[in-house]
Amino acid sequence: RLRDHIYADFNYMRTNDLGCIEFSGRYPDNLVEEINNYSICAGVIARTVDFDIIHSHDWLTYPAGIHAKQVSGKPLVIHVHATEFDRSRGKPNPTVFGIEKDGMTHADHIITVSNLTRDTVINHYGIDPAKVTTVHNAVTPLTPEQLNVPEHKSKDKVVTFLGRITMQKGPEYFVETAAKVLKNNPNVRFVMAGSGDMMNKMILLAAERGIADRFHFPGFQKGAQVYEMLKASDVYVMPSVSEPFGISPLEAMQMGVPSIISKQSGCAEILTNVIKTDYWDIDAMADAINSIVTYPAMYNQLREDGLAEVNRITWDKAGQKVIDIYNKVLNK
């Protein structure tokens, strides 16, 4: 019976000298094969371990969750952090879409990180609304070391984009907005930190707009570098086209950086002390940046109220909602 199952196909399994399946831990070309192997391992574990519930995150682990459910009969909760519609700007890869839909169909309950994502699950994947609950993400309190990283303030105002430079994140809107701001205010620097498949395109776009001398591409930032970069920023911008949640503006707010976010982001549902614009509205984004870098009162208000707001958004509250969902599923 197991062999009939879509995700338990042992024919293609490659094992090493110890008879173990090796995982790259990355996103290899044979990703679907790795996902299949992972689901086989999950089935083996589900037979040997005592547990109450299965919780799978995003499409990479849905097949493992389904397999573990079929082996154990225990309920499956899946957590949707993003869908293929978000990653592809609405042109989903059919294999990924199929795996996602399968996970959603088999799940006893679905947690989404925003109502935006919940609507996508209901409308694009045809899932019963009663089965889908939103639990907004939160943010981890910063340590004193993170808060007190060295400060490298420039005499110019600094506007920062921090994230993957991919089409989902709307990087071209950030570059176009920068060109608009710099027409009226030459004393601003723009930083696009991160890496991604659109990076070279963005470097060329900045050059085409004649703003390359005011635009910085420091590459992928990690650990303390992220907090140093935020501390040096006067404005944080997240112009995502489709952002299921978006934790990065919350991290910017924790560092006291006024933030501008797209209305097309899940975090816009829970944040008040930020400026929200449509991702495509470069005029509105440019106006918001100009206002923040020009008027100290506006800068200070967003900084202080944003900080107070973000400190109330805790993982404890999110975790309690997840526990409530577990209890609901187990009491069925």
Q: Please tell me the least confidently modeled range out of 9-18, 76-85, 186-195, 221-230.
A: 9-18
283 with 321, same domain: the answer is no
6 with 103, same domain: the answer is yes
For 188, the domain range is: 144-310
Tell me the percentage of the chain whose pLDDT exceeds 90.
83
Q: Which residue has the higher pLDDT, 90 or 277?
A: 277
Q: What is the mean pLDDT of residues 43-59?
A: 95
pLDDT value of position 3:
46
Q: What is the mean pLDDT of residues 45-65?
A: 95
221 with 109, same domain: the answer is no
Does 9 have pLDDT greater than 60? no
pLDDT, tens digit, 9 for 90 and up, residues 207-219? 999 999 999 999 9
The mean predicted confidence, pLDDT, of the chain is: 92
Q: Please tell me the least confidently modeled range out of 1-5, 76-80, 269-273, 317-321.
A: 1-5
121 with 205, same domain: the answer is no
pLDDT value of position 178:
98
Coil, strand or helix at 132 = strand
pLDDT value of position 152:
85
DSSP states of 251-282 as a string?
HHHHTT--EEEETTBGGGGT--SSEEE-TT-H
76 with 165, same domain: the answer is no
- Write the CB contacts of 149 (distance below 8 Å, at least 6 apart in sequence): 224, 227, 228, 231
pLDDT, tens digit, 9 for 90 and up, residues 61-120? 999 999 999 999 999 999 999 999 988 888 899 999 999 999 999 999 999 999 999 999
149 with 89, same domain: the answer is no
126 with 161, same domain: the answer is no
pLDDT value of position 14:
64
pLDDT value of position 13:
59
Q: Please tell me the least confidently modeled range out of 9-23, 92-106, 271-285.
A: 9-23
CATH number of domain containing 71: 3.40.50.2000
pLDDT value of position 19:
66
Q: What is the mean pLDDT of residues 241-261?
A: 96
Q: Please tell me the least confidently modeled range out of 21-30, 139-148, 247-256.
A: 21-30
Q: Which residue has the higher pLDDT, 26 or 81?
A: 81
pLDDT value of position 1:
46
170 phi/psi in degrees, rounded to 5? 65, 40
294 with 154, same domain: the answer is yes
pLDDT value of position 87:
85
Confidence band of 15 (pLDDT split at 50, 70, 90): low
C-alpha to C-alpha distance for 291 and 298, rounded to whole angstroms: 7
Q: What is the mean pLDDT of residues 305-326?
A: 97
39 with 173, same domain: the answer is no
Strand (E) positions, the chain?
A: 54-57, 76-80, 109-112, 132-134, 157-162, 188-193, 215-219, 235-238, 259-262, 275-277
Q: What is the mean pLDDT of residues 26-55?
A: 89
pLDDT value of position 63:
95
Q: What is the mean pLDDT of residues 260-278?
A: 97
199 with 73, same domain: the answer is no
87 phi/psi in degrees, rounded to 5? -70, -25
Q: Total structural domains in the chain?
A: 2
C-alpha to C-alpha distance for 259 and 251, rounded to whole angstroms: 10
Confidence band of 8 (pLDDT split at 50, 70, 90): low
Does 270 have pLDDT greater than 80? yes
pLDDT value of position 25:
74
304 with 324, same domain: the answer is no
79 with 163, same domain: the answer is no
Confidence band of 316 (pLDDT split at 50, 70, 90): very high
